[in-house]
C-alpha cells in the first residue's frame, strides 16, 4: 500500500468510533475525490487549531479573533441563568433545540479519578469566580448526563458554590442511560421546564 494512503487510513482510524475498514473506505474516497475538495478539507482541518479557541468566560469554542463566544456576547440572553455543561457538544445540543436562553459554563469533562480527571483539571475555578463576581446570576443549572461521574462532578460544584444561588439539575428528566448529546428537543424542553 502507498505510504501516503496508509498514513491517511491510520489518521482516520484514530478517530473515535471508526474501525479499520471504514477508515480504509474513507481514505479511498478522499483519494478519488475532487482535488479542490481535498485541499479545502485539509485547510479546514488545520484551521480547527489555528482559528478556533476557548471563550475566555465560558470555555465554549469561538473564533480566534473574538475574546468571547457568541452566547457570552449576546446581551439578549438571560443573564440570570447559568447552565453548567460537561463539554461544548452538550452546549451545542441544547442550543440546537432553542429551549434555553441563558448563558453557559463548559466544565471540560467530568470528575473521573480512574481516568485521572481530578477537579483541578476542570473549569471549576472560573465557574466559582464567575458566580462570585456576577451577582446577576441567580440560578445555576447543572445539566449533567445521568451517570456516576456526573454525580461527583455536580456534588463538587454544589458543595463549593461561592454564594447562595438556586441550584437546579436536569438529570432526572433525561432518559436513563441517555445523554444530553442524544436527547431530542422535547426531552430537553421538559428537562429544562421541569428542572429542580
What are the residues binding Zn ion (CB under 5 A)? 55, 57-58, 60, 69, 72
Q: CB of 153: closest distance to Zn ion in angstroms? A: 20
Q: Which is nearer to Zn ion, 86 or 149 (CB)?
A: 86
**What DSSP line would sit under 72-119, residue for residue?**
HH-TTSEEEEEEEESSHHHHHHHHHHT---EEEEE-SS--BGGGTB-G
Q: Whole-number minimum distance, CB 87 to Zn ion, in Å?
A: 14
Closer residue to Zn ion (CB): 72 or 174: 72
Task: Let me know: does 60 contact 70? Beta carbons within 8 Å.
Answer: no
Minimum separation from the CB atom of position 39 to Zn ion (A): 32
Give the shortest CB-54-to-Zn ion separation in angstroms.
8
* Closest residue by Cα to residue 61 from 11, 101, 95: 95
Q: How far is the CB of 27 from Zn ion (least distance, A)?
A: 36
- Comparing CB distances to Zn ion, the nearer of 54 and 138 is 54
Q: Cβ-count burial of 110 within 10 angstroms (0-12 exposed, 13-18 middle, 19+ buried)?
A: buried
Nearer to Zn ion, 47 or 74 (CB): 74
Our measurement of the distance from residue 143's CA atom to the centroid of its chain's CA atoms, rounded to an integer in Å, reads 11
Nearest Cα to 194, choosing from 169, 166, 160, 162?
Answer: 169
When the beta carbons of 55 and 111 are compared against Zn ion, the nearer one is 55
| Alpha carbons 11 and 43: distance in angstroms, whole number | 16
Q: Closest CB to Zn ion among 69 and 111?
A: 69
Only one residue has cell 496508509, namely 6
Give the shortest CB-58-to-Zn ion separation in angstroms.
3
Rg (alpha carbons) of the chain, rounded to whole number: 20
Amino acid at each position: 500500500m502507498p505510504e501516503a494512503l496508509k498514513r491517511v487510513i491510520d489518521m482516520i482510524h484514530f478517530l473515535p468510533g471508526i474501525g479499520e475498514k471504514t477508515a480504509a473506505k474513507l481514505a479511498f474516497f478522499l483519494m478519488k475525490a475532487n482535488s479542490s475538495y481535498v485541499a479545502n478539507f485539509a485547510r479546514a482541518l488545520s484551521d480547527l487549531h489555528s482559528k478556533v479557541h476557548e471563550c475566555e468566560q465560558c470555555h465554549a469554542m469561538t473564533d480566534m479573533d473574538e475574546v468571547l463566544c457568541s452566547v457570552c456576547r449576546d446581551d439578549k440572553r438571560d443573564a440570570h441563568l447559568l447552565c453548567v455543561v460537561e463539554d461544548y457538544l452538550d452546549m451545542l445540543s441544547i442550543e440546537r433545540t432553542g429551549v434555553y436562553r441563558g448563558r453557559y459554563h463548559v466544565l471540560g469533562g467530568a470528575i473521573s479519578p480512574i481516568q485521572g480527571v481530578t477537579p483541578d483539571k476542570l473549569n471549576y475555578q472560573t465557574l466559582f469566580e464567575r458566580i462570585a463576581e456576577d451577582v446577576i446570576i441567580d440560578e445555576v443549572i447543572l445539566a449533567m448526563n445521568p451517570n456516576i461521574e456526573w454525580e461527583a462532578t455536580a456534588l463538587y460544584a454544589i458543595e463549593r458554590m461561592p454564594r447562595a444561588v438556586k441550584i437546579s439539575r436536569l438529570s432526572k428528566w433525561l432518559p436513563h442511560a441517555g445523554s444530553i448529546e442524544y436527547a431530542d428537543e422535547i426531552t430537553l424542553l421538559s428537562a429544562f421546564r421541569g428542572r429542580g
